[in-house]
Amino acid sequence: MAKKIPKRWMYSPKRGANPKVPEALKQEVIQRAAALLDSVLKPARIVSPPPEMQWNYIVNLYVNWRGSYFYFGSTWRCPGPNCISEFFDAKFTRLEYEGDSRFSLAYMRYTNQWITVFYGLTLDECLVEIEKNELFWP
């Protein structure tokens, strides 16, 4: 049997603070992302449910900033008779501000982990990628 390697202490440097997002950029991202939601994602994902539906379905899509992260989120409804809560929220896409008007683009995996797919994209490139790639849709 192989001998176990003993545990060791290692130096782990702290990660630098995320850059501060300018207010003008925040407002631009909110406006353009809301336009994308209204024109592409809401018509594709929000449908009126059948009256006897027993499965969860999306009732709203929204966007918001949290620090240097910009999230696309969805509100779901649980129509079942034994549900814990009638509504719940789930985030599905994240833009992380890197500085110099660049973002990292990530999606929420089914394991509740953010998977970053693209680094250093401009806002235009991020929105085009979200629009054409259903990996970033709810």
In the chain, where the domains are located: 23-44+54-136
Residue 1 pLDDT: 66
| pLDDT, one tens digit for every residue, the chain (138 residues) | 678 888 888 887 777 778 899 999 999 999 999 999 999 999 999 877 666 777 888 999 999 999 999 999 999 988 888 888 989 999 999 999 998 999 999 999 999 999 999 999 999 999 999 999 999 999
Helix-, strand-, coil-residue percentages of the chain, each rounded to 5: 25, 35, 40
pTM of structure: 0.84
Contact 35, 128 (CB under 8 A): no
pLDDT of residue 33: 97
